[in-house]
Amino acid sequence: MEAPTNTPSNLSNPRIRPFKISIPDSQITALHQKLELASFPDELELDKFQEWDMGAPLEDIKRLTAHWKGPFDWRKAEQDLNDILPQYMTTVSVEGGFGMLMYILCISGVGFEKGERLFRYCFCMGPGSFIELKKVLPLLTQGDDDQPTFDVVAPSLPNFGFSPGISKSSKAAIGAPSIARTMAIRYPKTIKALHLNFIPSPPPYPWRNPLLFLQGLLGFIIPPFSASNRQKIAITQTYLERENAYARQQDTYPQTLGYALNDSPVGLLAWIYDKLHRWTEGYPWTDEEVLQWVSIYAFSKAGPAASLRIYHESVTKPDLTAYEEGVTWLSRDQVVSTRIPSCVKIAVASFPGEIM
C-alpha cells in the first residue's frame, strides 16, 4: 500500500494533533532479551490434520519467535506504518468532565465529486488492530465519479494500540460492534447508516413478534431457515463450544491472563496468532504480518494486559432505571437487545464462516 495523498489538511482543531509511532529503544531491547530467554513447552505428537486441535502448533511458534528475534525489524515496520497511515491523537470529552486521549487514523476520500461526502467510522477490538484497515483503506478512500468514497476515521479504543490506558474501572466499556450500535441508538438523527460485519442478536421475543418467535423454534425442521442459515447457526454453535473460551476468560478474570501476556512475548504471540489463524479462513499470513500485529500489542501504550479488560467491563449491567434518568451507557447484552431506531439504515456483511 502506497502512502496516501489524501491526508486531511483542514484538521485545525487544537484537540487533534499529528502523531508518529516511536517506540523507545529500551522497550525493543527488553523485548529481545525476553525472546532470548524464552522457553517452550512440549506438545503431543499429532497428525498433520490435527496439529491445531490443541492450540497454536509448537513448530509455528518457534519459527515466529526466531523470526521476531532475527530478521524482523520493528524500526522498519514502524516506519512503514508512519509512512502509510495518517495518524493523530485527539482528546475526547467523556462523562465526568475530563478529556480522554485517543489514537486515530484519519483519511480523506478523494475522487468522488457528486453529492455530499460520506463519513465513516471504523472500529476494531481485540485481538484485532488498526492495521486491519491497511488493505481496505484505498478501497474506501479512492474512487471515481461513479464510486462513492469516504472520509475514514478509525479510532483505537482506550487500552488498545497507541491509545492511552484507563486506570480506573470505566463501567462503560463496550466492544466495537456495540459502540457502533450505541451510536445508532443514541444519535439516530445524525447517523446516516450503520454497517456491521458482526451482529449478535438475541432470539426473537414472543411478545414482540410471535410469528418470528415460532419460526425460530421450528426453523431447523421446516422453513424459513435456508441451508446457508442453518450452516451459520451450526458454525456459531461450534464457535460457542470450541472458540469462545478466550472471551469467557476475559469476561471473568482478565487480570489473571494479563500477567502471562504482559510478561511473556511468546505467550502473547501464541495467544494472538491462534486467533489470526482460526478466524481468517486460510488467509496466507506472512511472518512479517503476524509479527507486526503482535508487536503493536507488545509495544501498546497501556500494555497488552489492558486490552483484555474491555470484555469484563462490557458485561457489567447498569441499573436501567438510572439509564432512563440519564445514564448514557448500557452493557453489551443490553445494547444487543435494544432496538435500533427504524430511521437508521442498516447493512450487514455476512461473510462465509461468520458466526451469527
Indicate whether 93 belongs to any domain. yes
Indicate whether 7 belongs to any domain. no
Indicate whether 228 belongs to any domain. no
Indicate whether 86 belongs to any domain. yes
Q: Where are the alpha helices (DSSP H) in 21-57?
A: 25-36
pLDDT 10s digits, 181-199:
888 888 899 888 888 887 7
Mean of pLDDT values over 33-45: 96
Q: What local confidence, expressed as pLDDT, does residue 330 receive?
A: 64
Domain tally, the chain: 1
Residue 96 has pLDDT above 90, yes or no: no
Is residue 278 within 8 Å of 53, Cβ to Cβ? Answer: no
pLDDT band, very low/low/confident/very high, at 141 (cuts 50, 70, 90)? confident
Position with higher pLDDT, 32 vs 218: 32
pLDDT band, very low/low/confident/very high, at 114 (cuts 50, 70, 90)? very low
Contacts with 321 (C-beta within 8 Å, 6 or more apart), sequence order: none
pLDDT band, very low/low/confident/very high, at 274 (cuts 50, 70, 90)? very high
**Segments forming the whole domain that contains residue 93:** 16-29+74-205+242-348
Indicate whether 94 belongs to any domain. yes
Residue 233 has pLDDT above 70, yes or no: yes
Indicate whether 46 belongs to any domain. no
Q: What local confidence, expressed as pLDDT, does residue 176 receive?
A: 60
Distance separating alpha carbons of residues 292 and 81, to the nearest angstrom: 10
Position with higher pLDDT, 235 vs 6: 235
Share of the chain above pLDDT 90, in %: 36
State the CATH number of the domain containing residue 160. 3.40.50.1820
Residue 297 has pLDDT above 50, yes or no: yes
Distance separating alpha carbons of residues 102 and 192, to the nearest angstrom: 24
Share of the chain above pLDDT 70, in %: 79
C-alpha cell at 310: 474491555
Distance separating alpha carbons of residues 196 and 240, to the nearest angstrom: 20
pLDDT band, very low/low/confident/very high, at 26 (cuts 50, 70, 90)? very high
Residue 326 has pLDDT above 60, yes or no: no
Mean of pLDDT values over 166-188: 73
Mean of pLDDT values over 238-254: 88
φ/ψ bin of 238: left (φ > 0), alpha (ψ from -120 to 50), beta (otherwise): alpha
Whole-number average pLDDT of the chain: 82
Is residue 157 within 8 Å of 166, Cβ to Cβ? Answer: no
Residue of 39, 25, 21, 69 lying closest to 263 (CA atoms) = 39
Indicate whether 310 belongs to any domain. yes
Residue of 103, 177, 169, 153 lying closest to 306 (CA atoms) = 169
The 3-state DSSP composition of the chain as helix, strand, coil percent (nearest 5) reads 40, 10, 45
Q: What local confidence, expressed as pLDDT, does residue 113 receive?
A: 56
Position with higher pLDDT, 301 vs 214: 301
Indicate whether 95 belongs to any domain. yes
Position with higher pLDDT, 139 vs 42: 42
Q: What local confidence, expressed as pLDDT, does residue 122 receive?
A: 65
